[in-house]
Structure 1
Amino acid sequence: MIIAIVGPSGAGKDTLIRGALAARPDLRLVRRVITRPTEAGGEDFEGVTPEDFAQRKARGDFALTWEAHGLSYGIPRDQIAGSGDVIFNGSRAALPAAVRIFPGLRVILVTAPEIVLASRLAARGRETATDIRDRLSRAAFEMPEGIGFQTVVNDASPEVGAARLLAALQPERA
């Protein structure tokens, strides 16, 4: 199964994903390719130049790509292949394409109150005040119509948030 974790900047998606991976070694994490320097921190990602990204996209190396915040993001095709559950940090705006590409995609929306998002964005020190305002304005972005999802509210400790994500990752019961 392929699972997309989506939500606004500052919701703690990467933190909760790390917690879930620690508790569930059977999960495989997709290491995204991003046109951002690797030194920028945050998640474990492969930083590439825009030119390298474009070449890889043209070769068909990515199963899914999208643009956000002036950056290009890619899900490498070879990391999706194989058996077992695969999890990736995705984009709400890219979900319509993702559900076409990955039949049966499960979507989990991680969110938090705006005050929590603002505090987390400021604490990570990557964005300017203007960037933070822009990201907060996108926090209320509606999920694309017709896409089923579960919601995890990450407004407590990382341990509580990870437990909530793990509960959402349990197999769906009919």
Structure 2
Amino acid sequence: MGTLFYIAGASGAGKDTLINYCRNQINGTLPVIFAHRYITRPANAGGENHIHLSEEEFKLRLRNNLFAMHWVSHGLYYGVGIEINQWLSQGLNVVINGSREYLPTALEKYPSLRPILIEATAETIKERLLKRGRENSESIAERISRSAQINTNSALFTSIHNDGLLEDAGNELLTTLLQTESIL
């Protein structure tokens, strides 16, 4: 059985950038699969490489049990496909971009998952969100305020601070992903 890595953190903490860094470093040379998410956000909205679904198509997939995990955040629907179960059963390690608020449910479904929290200062997050251009200043302030209110039990997480160089945090995440018996 493979290991499920659950990457979480505030919007703008750099989860997608670090996941892409690791994907490029591994590049199919190790048994690690990076799962995409199904989101009701347009595909060209910038940020992560995801599969865009209309709200109706998302709900159709949900009714037909095609998601291993699903949640709603900021008015959008997010899902991770059931294909991750097959990948895990074949001994592949799977990396997903999850939600901090959904983590308790994810742990119920996958008790052995390895949660990894990507953190950055409020200043860094604000700068990244402004650069991304998906939200206005008011929405960004609300996200930062909301992020500070989300209680993440640090005992559950491996924490990676992502305020500096991409390579530093990226290599820390890569090392964490490679610390499983099935890879070493």
User: TM exceeds 0.5?
Assistant: yes
Letter in 1 for 2:120: A
Q: 1:79 aligns with which of 68, 76, 84?
A: 84
Q: Where does residue 61 of structure 2 map in the other structure?
A: 56
Letter in 1 for 2:18: L
Q: Where does residue 103 of structure 1 map in the other structure?
A: 111
- The superposition leaves residues 4-49 of structure 1 with CA deviations (integer Å, 9 ceiling, x where unpaired) of 0000010000000011112223221111000111111211100111
Q: Where does residue 93 of structure 1 map in the other structure?
A: 101
1:1-174 equivalent positions in 2, closer than 5 A: 1-24=3-26, 25=28, 26=30, 27-82=32-87, 83-140=91-148, 141-143=150-152, 148-171=156-179
- The superposition leaves residues 116-144 of structure 1 with CA deviations (integer Å, 9 ceiling, x where unpaired) of 00000000001111110111012222115
1:172 offset after TM fit, Å?
6.2
- The superposition leaves residues 52-84 of structure 1 with CA deviations (integer Å, 9 ceiling, x where unpaired) of 100100000000000111101000001342221
SS in 2 for 1:74: strand
Segments of 4+ moved more than 6 angstroms: none
SS in 1 for 2:12: coil
Structure 2 Cα separation of the partners of residues 2 and 90 of structure 1: 11
SS in 1 for 2:105: helix
Structure 2 Cα separation of the partners of residues 89 and 130 of structure 1: 25
The normalised TM-score by structure 2 is 0.88
Structure 2 Cα separation of the partners of residues 144 and 69 of structure 1: 22
SS in 1 for 2:47: coil
Would the aligned equivalents of 1:80 and 1:86 in 2 still touch at CA under 8 Å?
no
The normalised TM-score by structure 1 is 0.93
SS in 2 for 1:40: coil
Unaligned runs of 5+ in 2: none
